[in-house]
């Protein structure tokens, strides 16, 4: 066994562990956060502050029988949850947590993450189609059109950042922003004065990409029962759930690396992985806060927002940045 | 927001919304003929919680029938028992002491606020916002605590008796109610800031699901649904009963006919109910709470009696046909949601399923009250 292969295996195991732990405890954080917003205690019985809730939930989900509804497409039905979780874990491999902590740094890191992220839509489509449930089909059609239309502005904004940095390497992008918060991409620079707007577009897109409220049309409880995972129980549902939270972590990490300077300290001291984690958890807290504050948009409102507002603005921003890069 | 649509009636599928569906808040079933996300035709199917309350009214004495009324609408039960006691009192010629009538008005209005609060939370939850429900339930909890202290029940009240009340209110209740009013007003402002101004919320409701005044008349819709369509009708004003003529309050009417108008009507009604409670507490006279001259067993003279009251959901009517016996010969309940719900079939044609279910939320359906 060569050393690189061993390296990759260890990296993947760590990525899985990180993703699973994050997914489990983000559920807890979300429930506690929601409870705090709604003035109720939330899970607080199992363990101190309810910290044992996630493992217990995991045991419950794993011991449940996996039901496959009659008439469902068995292969698609079984593949979909795995396909929801696996790409999310694979994306973790490329994310640099600090200068030294990266499972496998790739020169085309941005591209790899987007490639894996777009597989999530496939999982939802498989789940919806394979379940043989009208609600699931409707939900998956919604979710796929949503994912496709939000990937475009997200990619365009990422390209804007890549152009100013001149690299698709996530580590290089992060390194280019080091040395205090005024170097971060979120603040307008000579090359791209519209960066704050880009950041907002990217943030909205990552909300929509992860199917989070107010864009949670794929699992709109009040209309489509539970959306694409209506027919899933036991760990099938568990994987979808964990995949969603893993995707949230990736969205937050990508936003941090592209716009918030990665592991850079805002005032130039002690750069390191803690800053990175602090930033992504702050972003995730914002995700949770938004979810429990806003009602859901309509599917047409959502698509209009992407095609009529976000895509033109991000395209304009791209052209402006390209022009300014050429001039200066 | 919604795109122009070209429905293809030949390429549709049937979607069963309910009887177990989160949006129907109960066991209502809607058969929807769908073209993608659009509804071609909808048909509401009732009767999943039919309990024969009308038939029970023929087999029970008037007093025995009292608890049945609060099982119609579990959110605003006092209004329904109020209708029944008023009908029987008027038919039997029982004089009710003024204090009892005032307390009835106060408790009914408290119950109305509680009902609207719960509707507010559930409605925003239908639109995907969960937190307002928790805030609304907390405010509602104060009302339920107060009502529990005087009536002995939290939801299915049997507080009113023919000729008066089961129990007098004490100083604690009056104090609590007085404290509640400013707190509720503050909460209403908070709800306004949290929900009414929200862009997503407004986009989902403004201009959605227009129900014209003609349509309301055609289906007999009453209450906030009709008032959101510009029909200025409130039983408390138009056919005054109890001590309502002595209160100063407005009937909020909006002419936009959309879901937002129905929302605004209910939010304004809470404020008007608070005004009534405030005046009622101020004017509350001393005296007995039970009529002195009251027959042991109530037998209504032969005849046909009807009494309408304004409940949280609209005009509730009770018709009693008496043959002189101690129970009714025929008893008919006109429940407001039954009429309001039938708007749904016609109004939601060509609508997106999202908007249709938001529209259903704006009708404030309580299924046990439809099925009776």
A40 touches chain B (CB under 8 A): yes
Tokens of B195: 């929900």
pLDDT of residue A280: 87
Give the residue-averaged pLDDT of B51-65: 89
Task: Name which of A213, A223, A296 is nearest B23 (Cβ-Cβ).
Answer: A223
Question: What is the pLDDT, as a whole number, of residue B171?
Answer: 87
- Nearest residue on chain A to B191, judged by CA atoms? A293
Note whether A221 contacts B200, CB cutoff 8 Å.
no
Sorted by where each begins, the domain ranges of chain B are 13-365
pLDDT in tens, B175-201: 998 899 999 999 999 888 888 888 888
- Do the Cβ atoms of B200 and A294 come within 8 Å? yes
| Res. B236: pLDDT tops 60 | yes
How close is the nearest chain A Cα to the Cα of B321, in Å? 42
A213 touches chain B (CB under 8 A): yes
Is A145 in CB contact (< 8 Å) with chain B?
no
Write down the pLDDT at residue A38: 86
Q: Give the model's pLDDT for residue B319.
A: 92
Residue B32: which H helix or E strand, with range? strand B29-35
ipTM summary value = 0.79
Q: Which residues contact B254 (CB under 8 A, 6 or more apart)?
A: B227, B228, B230, B261, B262, B264, B265
B13-365: in CATH 1.10.645.10: yes
The CA–CA distances, whole Å, from A86 to A63, A81, A226, A235 equal 21, 9, 22, 14
Q: Which residues does chain B have within 8 Å of residue A292's beta carbon, measured at their own beta carbons? A: 130-131
pLDDT per residue as tens digits for the range A148-202 = 888 889 889 888 888 888 888 888 887 777 776 777 777 777 667 778 888 888 8
Lay out the sheet containing B29-35: strands in order across: B13-17, B29-35, B38-45
Nearest CA in chain A to B139: A39
* A223 to B1: CB separation less than 8 angstroms, yes or no: no
Residues of chain A whose pLDDT is less than 50?
1
Q: How far apart are CA A88 and CA B51, in angstroms?
A: 51
What pLDDT, on the 0 to 100 scale, is given for residue B2? 47
Judged by CB atoms closer than 8 Å, whether chains meet at A138 and B22 is answered as: no
Residue A220 touches chain B, beta carbons under 8 Å: yes
Which residue among B1, B2, B134 sits closest to A38, beta carbon to beta carbon?
B134
Query: Touching check for A216 and chain B: CB below 8 Å?
Result: yes
Mean pLDDT for all residues in chain B: 87
Does residue B348 belong to the interface with chain A, where contact is any CB pair within 8 Å? no
Confidence check: pLDDT of B77 > 60: yes
In this predicted structure, what is the pLDDT of residue B1?
42
The rounded distance, in Å, linking the Cα atoms of A219 and B345 is 25
Interatomic CA distance for residues A208 and A136, integer angstroms: 18
* Residue B271 vs residues A287, B181, B278: alpha-carbon distances, Å: 34, 9, 11
- Establish if A294 touches chain B: CB-CB under 8 angstroms: yes
The closest of B313, B314, B250 to B119, measured between CA atoms, is B313
């Amino acid at each position: 066994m060569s050393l690189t292969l061993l390296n990759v295996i260890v990296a993947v195991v760590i990525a899985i562990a990180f993703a699973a732990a994050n997914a489990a405890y983000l559920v807890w954080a979300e429930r506690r956060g929601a409870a705090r917003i709604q003035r109720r205690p939330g899970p607080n019985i199992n363990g101190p502050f309810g910290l044992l809730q996630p493992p217990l939930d995991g045991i419950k989900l794993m011991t449940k029988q996996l039901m496959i509804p009659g008439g469902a497409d068995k292969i698609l039905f079984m593949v979909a949850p795995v396909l929801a979780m696996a790409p999310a874990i694979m994306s973790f491999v490329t994310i640099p947590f600090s200068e030294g902590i990266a499972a496998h740094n790739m020169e085309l890191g941005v591209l790899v993450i987007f490639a894996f992220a777009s597989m999530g839509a496939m999982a939802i489509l498989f789940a919806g189609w394979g379940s043989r449930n009208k609600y699931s089909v409707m939900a998956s059609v919604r979710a796929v059109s949503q994912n496709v239309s939000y990937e475009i502005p997200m990619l365009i904004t990422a390209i804007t950042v890549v152009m100013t940095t001149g690299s698709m390497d996530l580590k290089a992008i992060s390194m280019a922003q080091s040395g205090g918060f005024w170097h971060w991409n979120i603040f307008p620079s000579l090359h791209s004065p519209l960066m704050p707007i880009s950041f907002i577009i990217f943030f909205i897109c990552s909300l929509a990409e992860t199917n989070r409220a107010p864009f949670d049309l794929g699992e709109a409880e009040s209309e489509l029962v539970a959306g694409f995972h209506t027919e899933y129980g036991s760990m099938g549902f568990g994987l979808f759930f964990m995949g969603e939270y893993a995707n949230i972590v990736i969205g937050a990490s990508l936003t941090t690396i592209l716009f918030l300077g990665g592991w850079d300290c805002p005032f130039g001291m002690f750069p390191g992985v803690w800053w990175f984690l602090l930033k992504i958890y702050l972003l995730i807290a914002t995700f949770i806060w938004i979810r429990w504050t806003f009602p859901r948009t309509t599917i047409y409102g959502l698509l209009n927002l992407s095609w009529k507002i976000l895509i033109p603005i991000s395209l304009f921003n791209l052209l402006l940045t390209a022009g300014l890069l050429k001039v200066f | 927001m919604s795109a122009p649509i070209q429905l293809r009636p030949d390429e549709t599928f049937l979607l069963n919304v309910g009887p177990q569906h989160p949006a129907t808040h109960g066991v209502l079933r809607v058969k929807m003929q769908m073209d993608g996300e659009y509804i071609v035709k909808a048909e509401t199917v009732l009767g999943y919680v039919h309990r024969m309350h009308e038939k029970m009214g023929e087999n029970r004495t008037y007093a025995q029938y009292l608890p049945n009324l609060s099982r119609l609408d579990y959110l605003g039960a006092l209004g329904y028992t109020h209708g029944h006691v008023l009908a029987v009192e008027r038919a039997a010629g029982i004089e009710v002491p003024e204090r009892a009538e005032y307390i009835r008005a106060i408790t009914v209005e408290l119950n109305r606020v509680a009902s609207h609060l719960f509707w507010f939370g559930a409605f925003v939850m239908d639109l995907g916002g969960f937190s307002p429900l928790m805030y609304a339930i907390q405010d509602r909890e104060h009302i339920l605590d107060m009502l529990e202290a005087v009536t002995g029940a939290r939801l299915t009240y049997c507080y009113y008796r023919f000729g008066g009340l089961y129990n007098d209110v004490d100083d604690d209740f009056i104090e609590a109610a007085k404290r509640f009013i400013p707190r509720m007003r503050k909460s209403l402002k908070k709800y306004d800031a949290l929900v009414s101004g929200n862009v997503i919320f407004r986009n989902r409701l403004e201009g959605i699901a227009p129900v014209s005044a003609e349509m309301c008349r055609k289906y007999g819709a009453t209450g906030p649904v009709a008032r959101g369509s510009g029909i200025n009708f409130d039983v408390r004003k138009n056919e005054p009963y109890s001590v309502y003529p002595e209160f100063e309050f407005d009937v909020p009417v909006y002419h936009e006919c959309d879901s937002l108008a129905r929302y605004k009507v209910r939010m304004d009604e809470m404020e008007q109910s608070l005004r009534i409670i405030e005046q009622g507490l101020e004017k509350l006279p001393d005296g007995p709470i039970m009529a002195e001259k009251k027959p042991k067993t109530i037998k209504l003279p032969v005849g046909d009696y009807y009494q309408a009251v304004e409940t949280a959901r609209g005009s509730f009517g009770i018709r009693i046909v008496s043959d002189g016996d101690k129970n009714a010969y025929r008893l008919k309940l006109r429940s407001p949601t039954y009429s309001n719900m039938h708007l749904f079939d016609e109004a939601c044609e060509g609508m997106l399923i999202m908007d249709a279910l938001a529209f259903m939320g704006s009708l404030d359906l309580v299924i046990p009250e439809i099925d009776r």
